[in-house]
Amino acid sequence: MAHNESLVALNGTQISYIGHDCKDIPDFLGDTYGLFARRLDLSFNQLRFSAVNRKTVSQSISCFKKSLCTNVKSLAGLETFIELEELIVDNNLLGNDLLLPRLPNLHTLTLNKNQLTDIEALLEHLADVTPSLKYLSLLGNEACPNQLVSPDKDEDDYQRYRYFVLHKLPQLKFLDTRKVTIKEVMEAQSRGAFMKVVKPKSEAPPNEAGSESHPLSYTPLPQGSRDAKNHRAHR
């Protein structure tokens, strides 16, 4: 698929390339906007993972699965967005192979409705490459036991997940749909390590990105972390 620069929505330092079925990040996005973009929205595409040079993500490997070291995968192209503060990649096909470059200024990350199941590996990776992260949303992934997408889960399951996430990423201020409380931080410090979410033994075949078969009422992250069109995790 040929990428067309006219499909990019530009608003100051905010870049949107939404709903164009791209399987990787077009080179022209980084070449054109990488040096000044603060917010990048790549929602409703078909982003998976693509091979990149090992050197590009060498700083990311230490806390990730060693089995990937011989065939490193990543969202190739993000390394050119050196000033990035917000990354929105909702409704894509990103799975446990997700590997980000180091993004020291990134404070907001939404990965809603992808194919993530291994919460521990993901959180350890984010702790390593996104040290400034404050806002995180993982709704619509198996890794996030929210009742909206997992009817067999209850509020206790979701709360345990929150404690585990905060144990791994204690600097978070907002997780999924609500603010992090002082009580949650204290509980995460004392018992969060024992709240690991069990990974499903079997998984149903993944839906295509943007599937409308199960409409979801996500409201991830505070208003200030969403664009002028009030972008949500599922349209």
What's the pTM?
0.77
C-alpha 176/C-alpha 149 separation (Å) is 13
Q: Looking at domain 5-225, which of 3.80.10.10, 3.30.300.30, 3.20.20.10, 3.40.50.620 is its CATH number?
A: 3.80.10.10
| Closest of 48, 107, 91, 56 to residue 77, by C-alpha | 56
C-alpha 75/C-alpha 57 separation (Å) is 10
Digit-coded pLDDT (tens) for 18-68 = 999 999 999 999 999 999 999 999 999 999 875 443 334 444 444 344 433
Q: What SS3 state is found at 90?
A: coil
Residues ≥6 apart with Cβ < 8 Å to 201: none
Looking up tokens 């499909």 gives: 7
Residues ≥6 apart with Cβ < 8 Å to 195: 160, 161, 163, 164, 167, 188
Token code pair at residue 164:
């585990």
C-alpha 195/C-alpha 159 separation (Å) is 9
Asked if 166 and 185 touch (Cβ cutoff 8 Å), the reply is: yes
Tell me, what amino acid is at 75? L
Token code pair at residue 192:
């969060």
pLDDT at res. 196: 74
Looking up tokens 């990048």 gives: 40
Spell out the domain ranges in the chain: 5-225
C-alpha 113/C-alpha 27 separation (Å) is 24
Digit-coded pLDDT (tens) for 32-42 = 999 999 999 99
Give me the tens of pLDDT residue by residue for the chain, a chain 235 residues long: 456 788 999 999 999 999 999 999 999 999 999 999 999 999 999 998 754 433 344 444 443 444 333 344 458 899 999 999 999 999 999 999 999 999 999 999 999 999 999 999 999 999 999 999 999 999 999 999 987 777 788 889 999 999 999 999 999 999 999 999 999 999 999 887 767 766 555 444 455 444 444 444 454 566 555 544 444 444 4
